[in-house]
Structure 1
C-alpha cells in the first residue's frame, strides 16, 4: 500500500502539467482536472482504510531511506485529512465549472485556473503527508504561490490589494517557519519528525520551549489564530466564490494540522496548553463578535471561520485523547460545512447580484432551493441538534468538563456562547436575504443558477448531513487517530522499524 502514498501529490501535479499544455482546449482541461481529483479521492480512501486496519504507511522518495531522504507518512490523521480535502476540492471544482472556469462576474482564462487549482491541491496533500519539517514548509509554499494566483483572478484593484495583504502575511509566517526550522536543525541535527521525537525530549526544557514557541507562532498565523487573524476577513471575501470556498475550508486547516502534529508528536508535555486555551477563547470571541457586526455575507462567514478555529484549538489544547478526538472530528465537519456555506454565498451573489444584506431580500420566494442550501449548513455550523456541528461541540465540551480547571470551564462557556452567536449571525442572513421582501438588488434582475453549481453545492450539503449519519464511525476513527498521536510510538516505528538512529 505504501506505493500509493505519493499519488495524492503526484496525480494533481501531473494533471496541472497536462491542463497547462492543453490551455487552448477548455473541455479537455475540465476532464483532466476532474479525473485527477477523483483519483486523488479514491487513493485517499484506500490510504485511510489501510491506516485504520494496519497503522501508518511510509514511503521514502527516491529510494533514500529516512532520515536522509524525503519521507511521506500516511497515518489515520493524514489519511482522514486527505479524504475530506479531496472531496471538498472535487466539489468546489465542479461548482467552478458552472462559473466558466471558476470566475463569477468576470471571465478569466481557463488556462490559468485549472493548473493553479491542481497545484494548490498538490501543496495541500503534500503538507498532510509530510514526514519532515522542510517538506511541510515546501507544501506551505506551494499552496502560497498557487493561492495568490487564485486570489487575484480577474486582476481587479480590490483583489490585488487583498492578495498583497495575504502574501505579505503568508511570507512573514513562512520566514518565521523557516527560521524555526533552522533552529530545530541546529538543536537536534535532523528535520525528520520521527527522529526528532527522542532528540527533542533530550533537550533542556527552556530550549525546547523556545523551539516550540517558534513553530507555534508560524502555524498560528497560517491557522488564523487570534491575534494573528486580522488578515483573513480582508483577504478571502474578494476572491471568486469557489476560490473563497476552498480557501475557507482548507487553507487554515493546514495550520491546525501542523499544530496538532507539533503538540502531539514533538511537544506532548503540554507546557503551552494554558496559552493555547486562552488563544482559543479569544479566537472564538473576537471572531464571532466580528461576524455579528457584518452586513456582507462573505465577510460574515469569514469571521465565523476565524471563530471556529477556536474550537479546533480548544480540543488540541486540552492535551487529552477525548479532546483531540473531538477536535479531529470537528476539523472534518468544519472543512465540509464552511466550504458549503461559501458556495451557497456564491449562489446568493449570482442570483441576487450582491451579498450585501442591505441590498438583497426575497430569495426564499424566488429561489427556495437556495434557501435550503444555505439554511442546512448554517444550522450545522451553529451546532443545532442533531447535526455534526452539535456532536462535535458536544464532544469538545465533554472533554473540557472532564479536564476540569478554570480555563477549560471558561472555554466550555465561551464555546456555548459562540455557538449561540453563530446561530444569531446565520439566522440574520436568513431573515434579511431570504425572508424579507426584495431590496435594491432584486432577485428578478439577475440570472438563473447553473445546474452544475446548484448540484455540487447540494452534494456538499448532503455530505455535511452525512457526517451526522456517520458520526459514530467517524468518531471511532478520530478516537483511534488521537490515541495513536498521543502514543507517538506507532508513527515512530512506521518510519524507523528498528528504532530511530
Structure 2
C-alpha cells in the first residue's frame, strides 16, 4: 500500500513488529489442526470408511502437539501468542500455563481413546451423519477453551463446543435422544447466556477482556469501585450449570445416558470439566477477592454436589444413569478446592479434574464393552457373569472402580488426600468429612455395580453360575479396538497413582500461577514491554514516559480506555 515517506506509520506504537517465533505456533496449532481435520473429513463424506482412520490420525497429531506444548510450558512457564500482532490487551491473546496445557493434553488423550473405540461402535450411517466432523469440532472448542487468554474468546469456544455437542447428542435421531437433548440444550443455553451477561458486565467495569489485564486491574482496583461480587456470582452460576453442580445438575443424568456409549464417554470426560476449568480460571485467577467472599457458599455447593452425586449413584439400577451421578459427584470434589482456595487445595482440584476425565471416559467405554458382550443390557438386574466372559474386563473395571472412589493406589487417591488435608488446615473439617462420606457412598455404589456385573454368576432369576443366555464373544479385531483404548487409559490411571510426582508437579505449577499470576501477566505483556523499551531507546529522550512507553501496560490502567 502506498504511503507518505515523510509521515510513515510507526507500527511499533500499536502492534508487535517482531515476527512470531516458530515455537509459538504450537499454541494455535491444536485449534488449526482440529478445524482442518473436521473440514477434510467432510470433503470425503462419501467415503465413510475413511472417516474414523482420518480422525484417529488427526487426534494422534493433537496428542503430540499438546505434549510438546505441555513440555515447553513446564520448562519455560506460561507462553502467549497474540493474534493479529496487536499489542495486548487489544489483540486476542492465546495464553497457555501449566493448568491449561495439562487439561488440553489429557483431553486429547481421551478423545483419541474414544475415537479408536468408535471405529467399531459408529455405524456407516453415523459416519455419514457427521460423527467424526462433530468430534473434531468438539475438540476445537474444548482445546480452545483451555488455551485462550481472553474471557470473551472463551465464550466463543464454549459456543463451538456446545454446537458440536448438540449434533453428537442427537446423532441417530431416536426419541429418547431428542428428549435428552432438549434438557441438555435448555440448561446449557441458559448458562451460556449468563456467561455472556457476566462478561458484558465485566467489560463495562474493567474495560478489557484480556485475562491478564483483568487480573492485574482487579488486584489494584479499590474495593467497592465495581460490583465484582455480583459479577463473580453470575460467573459462578453460569459455570456451575455447565459443570452440573448442585442445584442445577438435573440435566446431566437426564441426558448423558441417551446417546451412543462413545458420545456419553466423551461428554462425561470433557464437557463438565471445561465448565470447572472456566470456573477455576475466573474465580481464582481473575477474581480472588470475590472467590474468598463466596467461599462458604461454594463450600456448601461442593458438599451438596458430592453427596447428591454419591446418593444418586447408589439409588440407580441403570448403570448409564449411575455413571452420570458419578460425574456430578466428581464436580463437587473439584469445587472443594475452589472453596478452600489455597495452593494445595487448587492443586488437588486440578488433579481431581484430570482423574475424572480419565476415569469417567474409561468407565463408559468399559460399560460399552460389557454391553457388547451381553446384548446391550445395562440394568443391574440383567447383568451377571461378566468375570466368566472376560476376566480382563473385570480387572479393568475394578481398577476404574477404585480410581472413581479415590482409593489407593490409583489416580483418584492423591487429589482426595490433598483436598481433605487442605480442608482440615483451613478449618473446613465438615467439608473434609463430606469428601470422605461421599467417597464411602461412592465405593458402595460402585462395588454394587461390580458385584452384580462381574462377581455374580448370572442375572436375577437364574441359578448362580448359569447365565440366562450365553454372553457374546467378541471377534479378534473388535476385541482389540475396544479393549486397547480402555487398557491404555487404565494404565495411565495406574501410572499416575503409583508415580504421581510428575503430574502433581505440573498441577502445582498451574495452581501457583493461578494464585500468583505475575508470570502469567509477564507472558502476556512481556514482549510488548520489551518492544516499547527498545523503541524508547531508539527515540532517545524524544518520548520519555510518553503514552507509547506505557503501551505495554494493561490498557485498563490508563484513564480514558473505558
Query: TM-score, normalized by length of structure 1?
Result: 0.96
Q: What is the aligned partner in structure 2 of residue 471 from structure 1?
A: 500
Q: What is the aligned partner in structure 2 of residue 84 from structure 1?
A: 106
**How far off its partner does 1:203 sit?**
5.6
Q: Does 1:128 align with 2:146?
A: yes
Q: What is the aligned partner in structure 2 of residue 419 from structure 1?
A: 439
**How far off its partner does 1:230 sit?**
0.6
Q: What is the aligned partner in structure 1 of residue 523 from structure 2?
A: 494
Q: Does 1:403 align with 2:423?
A: no
CA distance in 1, matches of 2:77, 2:554: 18
CA distance in 2, matches of 1:322, 1:2: 30
**How far off its partner does 1:27 sit?**
3.5
Q: What is the 5 A alignment of 1:156-195? A: 156-195=174-213
SS in 1 for 2:80: strand
Q: What is the aligned partner in structure 2 of residue 328 from structure 1?
A: 350
Contact 1:340 1:457 in 2 (8 A): yes
**How far off its partner does 1:447 sit?**
5.4
1:256-313: per-residue Cα shift (whole Å, max 9, x none)? Answer: 1011111221111211111111110000111111110000111111101101111100
**How far off its partner does 1:391 sit?**
1.6
CA distance in 2, matches of 1:13, 1:397: 41
Between Structure 1 and Structure 2, whose CA radius of gyration is higher? Answer: 2
**How far off its partner does 1:200 sit?**
2.8
Q: 1:442 to 1:248 in 2, by over 3 A?
A: farther
Q: Does 1:480 align with 2:534?
A: no
SS in 2 for 1:437: coil
Q: Does 1:64 align with 2:86?
A: yes
Q: What is the aligned partner in structure 2 of residue 377 from structure 1?
A: 400
Q: What is the aligned partner in structure 2 of residue 251 from structure 1?
A: 271
CA distance in 2, matches of 1:108, 1:93: 13
Unaligned stretches of 5+ residues in structure 1: none
Q: What is the 5 A alignment of 1:184-263? A: 184-201=202-219, 202=221, 204-205=223-224, 207-263=227-283
CA distance in 2, matches of 1:470, 1:481: 19
CA distance in 2, matches of 1:137, 1:100: 30
CA distance in 1, matches of 2:512, 2:440: 31
Q: Does 1:457 align with 2:506?
A: no
Q: What is the 5 A alignment of 1:84-163? A: 84-101=106-123, 107-163=125-181
After TM superposition, the runs of 4+ consecutive aligned structure 1 residues lying more than 3 A away are 203-206, 440-443
Q: What is the aligned partner in structure 1 of residue 383 from structure 2?
A: 360
**How far off its partner does 1:64 sit?**
2.8
Contact 1:361 1:442 in 2 (8 A): no
**How far off its partner does 1:31 sit?**
2.6
CA distance in 2, matches of 1:275, 1:345: 36
Q: 1:73 to 1:364 in 2, by over 3 A?
A: same
Unaligned stretches of 5+ residues in structure 2: 1-22, 461-466, 530-552, 556-562
CA RMSD of aligned residues (A): 1.6
SS in 2 for 1:234: coil
Number of aligned residue pairs: give it. 494
**How far off its partner does 1:111 sit?**
5.0
Q: What is the aligned partner in structure 2 of residue 16 from structure 1?
A: 38
Q: What is the aligned partner in structure 2 of residue 47 from structure 1?
A: 69
Contact 1:351 1:443 in 2 (8 A): no
CA distance in 1, matches of 2:490, 2:502: 19
SS in 1 for 2:412: helix
